[in-house]
Amino acid sequence: MPHHDEPEEIHYHAPIYIERVNRAIDHTLTNLALPLSLDEVAKAARFSPFHFHRIFKAHLGETLNQFVKRQRLERALYLMSHAPKRSLTDVALDCGFATSSDFSRSFKQHYGIAPRTFDLKHFRDARREAFDRLMQTQNAQEGFPSFTTLPAQANEHENDHEKKNENPDGFEARLRDLPARTVAYIRVLDPYRKGVAQAACERLLACATREPTRGLAEGQWLGYMWDEPEIVALAKCRYDVALVVSDVDDFADFKPVGEIGRFDFSPMRVAEVIVRGDLALEARAIDWLYKTWLSQSGYVPDDQPAFEAWISKPFADGNEYFEIAVQLPVRRR
């Protein structure tokens, strides 16, 4: 017998459900280091726990508990990759595990081996090969997120010191302190399917150029990947196409509506590289930031996604040429 509050038919992917599931995801990502209960996240999503449990699973293919645990473990792998000097106990606590033993037990259940003996390089190399095969199968990168490269591990040993300092493209990174930013975004699940990221850009642009949000399109356009494909299965990755609304007159109080969500980023320091060229050049810039600049900088990646800040509107020059600022959030070691 259906629950008395449950409609006879629930259209799980209707805009109202997308909006509220995005609220739940955003709340989870913001509070990953804290305890997260079903009741708390359901409240943030403005659902009853009963309905929220079913809708969240229908939308993402996993329960909230499975999603939270996976996010914490994948965040731990990211920290192990890019901040290798951090102790596993610190990693565990930073990712929301109550104790290091709880982390080790969950890690072994998920990956089949304890974190101390986990071959991180082999794992990432295998994911990189899968990513490269996908790119080759598609036979073109048109319509893909611009972040179509995978950052190298910070602790790789395959290059000698001289090679790691090579910079044939002449990339220059500058540190910038960015203020708090509020963005309006469309979230793309499984973003490496051909054309889906560009289609999201077009939908957000269409919304930003008609009433009542006319004028919004003049803000700063961003693209950011919440998940690193060398760690997260490609189908589980999430990419947001976004507009900064906090510095656009009349839109600082923008409210989420349908698939267009709102996210508030705290102030951050970023290492920024300006890229004017094709996707291959951006790929090399990201790789250089992670592999060369980061290892020599005294910084480690902060707990924020890496951004591409478009200098003009997204895909203004098609799919062959891009003008963007690659922004990697960082903090002192």
pLDDT of residue 310: 92
Rounded Cα distance between 192 and 188, Å, is: 9
Amino acid at 273: V
d(CA 136, CA 268): 36
The answer to whether residues 123 and 261 touch, using CB atoms and an 8 Å cutoff, is no
Out of 1.10.10.60, 2.40.110.10, 3.30.9.10, 1.10.540.10, select the CATH number for domain 67-117: 1.10.10.60
Average pLDDT over residues 281-308: 89
The residue with greater pLDDT, 61 or 279, is: 61
User: What is the structure's pLDDT at 246?
Assistant: 81
| pLDDT 10s digits, 180-202 | 999 999 999 988 888 888 899 98
User: How confident is the model over 271-300, as a mean pLDDT?
Assistant: 89
Tell me what pLDDT residue 185 has: 94
Say if residue 154's pLDDT is above 50. Answer: no
Q: What are phi and psi of 327, to 5 degrees?
A: -120, 115
Give the span between the Cα atoms of 135 and 297, in whole angstroms. 31
Mean pLDDT to the nearest integer, 10-39: 85
Distance of CA 145 to the CA centre of its chain: 11
Measure the CA–CA gap between 183 and 195, rounded to whole angstroms: 22
167, 159 contact by CB (below 8 A): no
* Residue 195, helix vs strand vs coil: coil
Residue closest to 180 by CA, chosen among 262, 252, 255, 268 = 268
- The topology (CATH level 3) of 174-332 is Multidrug-efflux Transporter 1 Regulator Bmrr; Chain A (3.20.80)
Q: For residue 2, what pLDDT is reported?
A: 41
Nearest to 19 by CA among 56, 69, 63: 56
Q: What pLDDT does residue 291 have? A: 84
